[in-house]
Amino acid sequence: MGHLTDLAKSILASAEAIEAHLEKTNTPIPSFEADSNIMPDDMEIIGAKLQLQTDLQDLDMLALGPREFLTAGMIGNVHDVTVINVLNQFNFWDAVPLKGSITYADLASKVKLPEALVRRLLRFSMTRHMFASTSSGSDSVKHTSVSAIFVLQPQIRCIIGHQLEEIAPACINVPQALRHWNNDAEHPSKSGCAYTFFKDTLYEAGTFEWFGKPENAYRVERFAGAMNYMMQSPAMSFTNLHNMYDWRALGAATLVDVGGSEGHISYELARAYPDMKFIVQDLPEVQASFDKARPSELDSRVSFTAHNFFKEQPVKGAEVYFMKHILHDWSDPWAAKIIQQLTAAMKPGSKLILCEGVLPPADKAPAPIVRLLSALDMQMLVALNAKERTVEDWQALLKLADERLVFKGVHQPPGVGFAIIEAEFAG
């Protein structure tokens, strides 16, 4: 039997398994209708969903062949970016009613673009089921489930805006950045983003420092919205932390939440482990937000200290130093400097607990997971000259920072989008 039919049979088996689960749980089967539900993230069907995605991608590549996949496919993918960027910036999402439809002429008037251009843009977007004609030959447009999500979950616009207005232009400039700075893929001010937006200024903190300029306040607000939206995913929820590590075994420990922003993780842990105390550290300008966010019942157990994690750690001898999604923003030399400020303050037995992504071996994980995590690695490269890391990479980083740090292991339950990486200071 040919490989194409094998893939087709596997696709059918996965689809049947997913539909059987949806019927069992009385969940409507997703469609492209605007009011359709979204495919659930139920653990029982994750395997079938990943297998379905893998087989569909392989079948598509084989059906097209390398030439068509790389030429026609690339042209289409590039102009997905073109069209979605226009739809997002000119807010087609709100211009089309969530229920009902709108004529092309009225839509063009609302978004203030020529009607002929609106027709061209939507003709392309409809090939991705993003908006649809009300019927064949109709002169009216309606939402689909793909376009309606921009209305129903508006923070997704922040992700799209960040990706298309900051990351996409920087992607194109990665080769130029490498040539311009002699293949330096580590300095935070020598990334594709740096080349695109601040080539002539060598900021110490790279893109983060550029983001902090007053003229970029709207970018910061949009990025915060994008991160908040991502955290709403069950796989990224703070509540997963409880099942990933034996926090209760720490007893009456003091945990220093380095780069902890407004303190949300410390609040989550403080509520569950009343014997622990927490010190949230971030830049001075974050304190007002922390003070506003801190629940009054936690005033005595969660405090804030202004601190730059590249500077000397002011809290000496704490039982736990904790960082969540900090080190993936920095290349190894910079990440090692951050860790060294902590080891200089540690006592024998102090723990370093990192909450980070861990790249799986490419041959040990489903292809869609490998592709997504590898894409996040490219995101770090483009934006920050930083990286996502494998288990071996994390072990090497800890050794580079301080050989007295003893790697204790990685904890990551199935279905969770991040891991706990634990090390202990031997002294």
pLDDT digits (tens, 9 = 90+) for 105-122: 999 999 999 999 999 999
Residue 2 has pLDDT above 70, yes or no: no
| Closest by Cα among 309, 313, 400 to 350 | 313
Question: What is the band of 239 on the pLDDT scale with cuts at 50, 70, 90?
Answer: confident
- Across the chain, mean pLDDT equals 94
Q: How far apart are CA 237 and CA 226, in angstroms?
A: 15
Q: Token pair for residue 153?
A: 């979950």
Length of the chain: 427
Question: What is the band of 12 on the pLDDT scale with cuts at 50, 70, 90?
Answer: very high
Q: How far apart are CA 164 and CA 167, in angstroms?
A: 6
CA-to-CA separations, 74 to 84, 166, 269, in angstroms, rounded: 16, 20, 45
* Catalytic residue (choose from 79, 242, 328, 411): 328
Q: Which residues pair with 422 in a beta bridge?
A: 353, 409
Q: Mean pLDDT throughout 387-398?
A: 97
Helix (H) or strand (E) holding 338: helix 332-343
Q: Token pair for residue 300?
A: 């005595």
Question: Which of 123-132, 153-162, 363-372 shows the lowest mean pLDDT across its residues?
Answer: 363-372
Cβ-contact 192, 382 below 8 angstroms: yes
Cβ-contact 422, 411 below 8 angstroms: yes
User: Which are the contacts of 411, defined by CB distance < 8 A and separation ≥ 6?
Assistant: 244, 245, 419, 420, 422
User: Which are the contacts of 270, defined by CB distance < 8 A and separation ≥ 6?
Assistant: 276, 278, 298, 301, 302
Query: Is 129 one of the catalytic residues?
Result: no
Residue 1 has pLDDT above 60, yes or no: no
Q: Mean pLDDT throughout 22-42?
A: 93
Q: Going from the N-terminus, what domains does the chain have, and what CATH number goes with each?
A: 3-152 (1.10.10.10), 162-229 (no CATH), 233-425 (3.40.50.150)
- φ, ψ for residue 281, nearest 5 deg: -120, 135
pLDDT digits (tens, 9 = 90+) for 305-360: 999 999 999 999 999 999 999 999 999 999 999 999 999 999 999 999 999 999 99
- φ, ψ for residue 409, nearest 5 deg: 140, 175
pLDDT value, residue 205: 85
Please state the pTM of the whole predicted model.
0.91
Q: Token pair for residue 24?
A: 């069992």
pLDDT value, residue 130: 98
pLDDT digits (tens, 9 = 90+) for 250-269: 999 999 999 999 999 999 99
Count of alpha carbons within 13 Å of 332, Cβ hemisphere only? Answer: 15
345-369 as b/e: b if 16+ CB within 10 A? bbeeebbbbbbbbbbeeeeeebebb
pLDDT digits (tens, 9 = 90+) for 264-303: 999 999 999 999 999 999 999 899 999 999 999 999 999 9
